[in-house]
């Protein structure tokens, strides 16, 4: 188990952890009924914080920001010699948490995406983890919630008996959701990105050899060019340039951020 704490990558406090440490943190928080925010960030997720000081503040108040992408892991290893042998990929982290939750009978709740995708997620979970208590599968409303709707959603999730919530609203909405709901829910909230669509078979996953070489971004760009071209064509080179500047100590990146002026209440 590796947990070397948080390290500054472009002003974002990434957690230098492996799968074992991340899963253990989530399960411990679930047992203790303790609110916690966890996200798996690849390059795009890191850059959302670099470009927005309020979002940087949110991310830097997460309990765990695990390196979802190999380029983020490479930065942790290169800048801080963390010795991470693998990334902590959001979909795989979800599977590992569900495996432990099944063994310990900890109910899980999936929030976000569409009814069709969640139907597929439900089938996947029933086949893969037949003993996993699924407390709920609730689709996104694809709009901002008002404070009353937030309170109702919190009450609904808590009443379900859930011990762990997985949020799949897309980056950065799911990170905003995890930040804004974590304390009210009093349980760990994991923002896991494309895991819902992958499990439902709605979006193809890159072959393992592509993932291992840090080229999943290219596979996804080819699969969804109109939706993702800005994310990968513009942000990836910017990330590489900024990490190089940090490595050469030509630029310093503050972790402060700005306290969000209001809740966004994405739902």
- pLDDT digit string, tens, across residues 125-167: 999 999 999 999 999 999 999 999 999 999 999 999 999 999 9
pLDDT of residue 39: 98
Asked if residue 241 belongs to a domain, the reply is no
Beta strand 36-41 pairing with 64-67: parallel
Asked if residue 264 belongs to a domain, the reply is no
Asked if residue 237 belongs to a domain, the reply is no
Asked if residue 246 belongs to a domain, the reply is no
pLDDT of residue 221: 62
Asked if residue 111 belongs to a domain, the reply is yes
Statement: residue 194 has pLDDT above 90: no
3-state secondary structure at position 264: coil
pLDDT of residue 206: 64
Give 80's Cβ-side CA count (13 Å radius): 21
Burial 132-168 (b: 16+ CB within 10 A, else e): bbbbbbbbbeeeebeeeebeebeeebbebebbbbbbb
Q: What is the mean pLDDT of residues 239-243?
A: 96
Asked if residue 102 belongs to a domain, the reply is yes
Statement: residue 53 has pLDDT above 60: yes
Asked if residue 113 belongs to a domain, the reply is yes
Statement: residue 210 has pLDDT above 60: no
Measured in whole angstroms, how far is the alpha carbon of residue 174 from the centre of its chain? 7
Q: How far is it between the farthest Cα atoms of the chain?
A: 53
pLDDT of residue 236: 87
Statement: residue 114 has pLDDT above 90: yes
Provide the residue range defining the domain that includes 53: 3-200
| Structure token digits, residue 55 | 């979002």
Beta strand 188-191 pairing with 36-41: parallel
pLDDT in tens, 64-109: 999 999 999 999 999 999 999 999 999 999 999 999 999 999 999 9
Q: What is the pTM of this model?
A: 0.92
Asked if residue 41 belongs to a domain, the reply is yes
pLDDT of residue 219: 66
Please provide the average confidence, as pLDDT, over all residues in the chain: 93
Closest CA to 187 of 159, 149, 146, 168: 159
Whether the CA torsion 132, 207, 176, 57 is positive or negative: it is positive
Statement: residue 25 has pLDDT above 60: yes
Lowest mean pLDDT among 15-24, 111-120, 124-133, 213-222: 213-222
Domain count, the chain: 1
């Amino acid at each position: 188990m590796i947990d070397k704490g948080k390290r500054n990558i472009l002003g974002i406090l990434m957690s230098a952890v492996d799968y074992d440490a991340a899963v253990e943190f989530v399960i411990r928080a679930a047992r203790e009924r303790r609110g916690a925010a966890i996200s798996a960030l690849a390059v795009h997720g890191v850059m959302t914080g670099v470009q927005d000081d309020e979002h940087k503040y949110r991310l830097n108040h997460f309990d765990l920001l695990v390196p979802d992408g190999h380029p983020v892991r490479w930065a942790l290893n290169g800048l801080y010699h963390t010795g991470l042998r693998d990334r902590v990929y959001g979909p795989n982290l979800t599977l590992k948490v569900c495996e432990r939750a099944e063994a310990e009978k900890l109910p899980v709740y999936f929030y976000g995406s569409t009814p069709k995708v969640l139907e597929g997620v439900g089938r996947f979970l029933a086949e893969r983890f037949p003993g996993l208590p699924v407390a709920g599968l609730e689709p996104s409303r694809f709009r901002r919630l008002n404070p009353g709707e937030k309170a109702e959603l919190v009450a609904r999730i808590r009443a379900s008996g859930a011990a762990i919530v997985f949020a799949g609203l897309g980056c950065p909405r799911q990170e905003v959701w995890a930040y804004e709901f974590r304390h009210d829910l009093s349980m760990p909230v994991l923002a896991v990105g494309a895991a819902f669509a992958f499990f439902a078979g709605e979006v193809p996953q890159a072959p393992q050899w592509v993932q291992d070489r840090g080229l999943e971004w290219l596979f996804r760009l080819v699969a969804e060019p109109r939706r993702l071209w800005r994310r990968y064509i513009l942000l990836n080179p910017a990330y590489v340039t900024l990490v190089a500047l940090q490595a050469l100590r030509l630029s310093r990146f503050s972790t402060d951020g700005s306290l969000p002026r209001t809740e966004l209440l994405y739902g």
